[in-house]
Amino acid sequence: MFKKGELRDLFDSIFAKSWPMWVGGITLAVLNILLFVIKYPWGSSSGYANIGQNLFQVLGINSLGTSIPISLHAVALLNIFVVVGAFVASLLSKEFGIRVAPIGELIKGFVGGALMAIGATVGAGCTTGGFFTGVAALSGGALALGLGFTAGTFVALRYLLWEMEALPNISMGKNFTFLNGTGKKTGWQRWLGWILIAAVLYIFSRYTASANGAAKIIGWHVFLGLILGMILQRSRYCIVRAFREPFMTGEATAPVAVILSILVTLVGFTVIKYFGVGNAGELSMRAIEMKAVYANFWLRALIGGFIFGLGMTVAGGCAVGTLWRAGEGHIKLWMSAFGFVVMAPISKLAIVPFVKGILPESMQSKLFLPDILGYTGAVVLVLFILLLWYLFVKWNERTGKFSAL
């Protein structure tokens, strides 16, 4: 598409080579900080729920609650354009292909997505909004979610290893790939990628040209969704791997990338919360401080995190990992997204009230760590936990003590 020269070198550095995952983690952290300044930090699960509610309404099922249209829901649009961004990046890098896994894997994708929906709604957060964003937002519930993810991932991984031995036929069968970027006559992929970028920029301009402030915010979610999806696909940033690999291969690449991304986000979020940056005219200082701090500390987050950990390991992608892999053309992850979309409204209506009803308030409270430790103490605690995580995964990478393979 570009002839040899500086522009071609720039294009190749972005789309011809995979990025180190830690580079993706740092750039994603910067974009998360921007999202906080614009309106609210990065999250995904509420967007899935909104899409699900709209889907059920189209089908005439209104008993699961009504919701605002997808076109007016910032997080739902962010999710959609993360998929578009990953699709664009995979087209420009000629890595797109419709990849159909065996039927057993497709079923596992759907089941994993449904479990993630239950876990995210019960635990009031997924790996993105609840953990990655939540830890940086100094939420005590985010730390409990992380423990739940760890336990759920460990149990699900043990099940998958057992399944490979005892029930190998479940995942056996042919894999099919269509429209992949290898071979001749693949130039259409890059042309389509550029056309989609132009289309997204047009949509962005339409939203931001509005005099309505809410429309401008939605427009920026459209644009940043595109960029997030492209970065996720090029760096293959994966929170599932951060929890899974220490128990599987022992590789520390993904955990270190996630630790770095949380660290950078922590700096930005702490400044925003401490000084009340962003939306200061609309919200009180306290309201800004409590963003991304949910009523899930401690047992509610632990239960939800465990269920979510099961689901993301079975599906092979978390809430955001599902989106960018779907954008690459993985049908198993489309099944995961469908399971998440379908189950999220059902869980919000039928499962979450039950769990909240049986748990005492002390086990599902909002815990903003600076309230009990001060900002300095809260930041030091999070830094200490990140350091312990880093030391563990590097030690385990070297020794293989907790690795199954």
- The answer to whether position 12 is within a domain reads no
Summarised one tens digit per residue, pLDDT across range 124-150 is 999 999 999 999 999 999 999 999 999
Query: What are the pLDDT digits (tens) for 33-79?
Result: 999 999 999 999 999 999 999 999 999 998 887 789 999 999 999 99
Three-state SS annotation for the chain: CCCCCHHHHHHHHHHCCCCCHHHHHHHHHHHHHHHHHHCCCCCCHHHHHHHHHHHHHHCCCCCCCCCCCHHHCHHHHHHHHHHHHHHHHHHHCCCCCEEECCHHHHHHHHHHHHHHHHHHHHHCCCHHHHHHHHHHCCEHHHHHHHHHHHHHHHHHHHHHHHHHHHCHHHHCCCCEEECCCCCCCCHHHHHHHHHHHHHHHHHHHHHHCCCCHHHHHHHHHHHHHHHHHHHHHHHCCCHHHHHHHHHCCCCCHHHHHHHHHHHHHHHHHHHHHHHCCCCCCCCCHHHHHCCCCCEEECHHHHHHHHHHHHHHHHHCCCHHHHHHHHHHCEHHHHHHHHHHHHHHHHHHHHHHHHHHHHCCHHHCEECECHHHHHHHHHHHHHHHHHHHHHHHHHHHHHHCCCCCC
Q: What is the pLDDT of residues 83-124, one digit of tens each?
A: 999 999 999 999 999 999 999 999 999 999 999 999 999 999
Q: Number of structural domains, the chain?
A: 1
| 166 lies in some domain | yes
On average, the pLDDT of the chain sits at 95
- Give residue 235's pLDDT band: very low, low, confident or very high (50, 70, 90): very high
Residues in the chain: 405
Structural domain containing residue 290:
32-399
CA-based torsion, 275, 27, 72, 114: positive or negative:
negative
**How many Cα atoms within 13 Å fall on the side-chain side of residue 202?**
6
Q: Do residues 157 and 146 touch, judged by C-beta distance below 8 A? A: no
Residue with tokens 């099922």: 61
Question: Of 180-184, 261-265, 274-278, which one has max mean pLDDT?
Answer: 261-265
CA pair distance 377, 383, nearest whole angstrom: 10
Split at pLDDT 50, 70, 90, the class of 3 is low
* Cβ atoms 276, 288 nearer than 8 A: yes
Q: pLDDT per residue over 172-207, tens digit each?
A: 899 999 988 766 677 899 999 999 999 999 999 999
Whether the Cβ atoms of residue 120 and residue 43 lie closer than 8 Å to each other: no
What Cα–Cα distance (Å) separates residue 286 from each residue in 136, 280, 283?
A: 17, 10, 8
- Chain-centroid distance of CA 202 in Å reads 26
- Give residue 56's pLDDT: 95
- Helices 140-166 and 299-315 pack at an angle, to 10 degrees, of 40
What is the pTM (predicted TM-score) of this model?
0.96
First to last CA, the chain: 42
Both tokens of residue 123?
């635990």
- Is 233 contained in some domain? yes
- The DSSP bridge pattern shows strands 98-100 and 176-178 to be antiparallel
- Distance from C-alpha of 100 to C-alpha of 333, rounded to nearest angstrom: 10
Strands 295-297 vs 176-178: parallel, antiparallel or unpaired: unpaired
The pLDDT value given to residue 183: 61
Q: Measure the CA dihedral 189/23/396/115, to 10°.
A: -50
Q: What is the structure's pLDDT at 187?
A: 80
**pLDDT, tens digit (0-9, with 9 covering 90-100), for 359-368:** 999 999 999 9
The Cα–Cα gap between 347 and 353 comes to 9
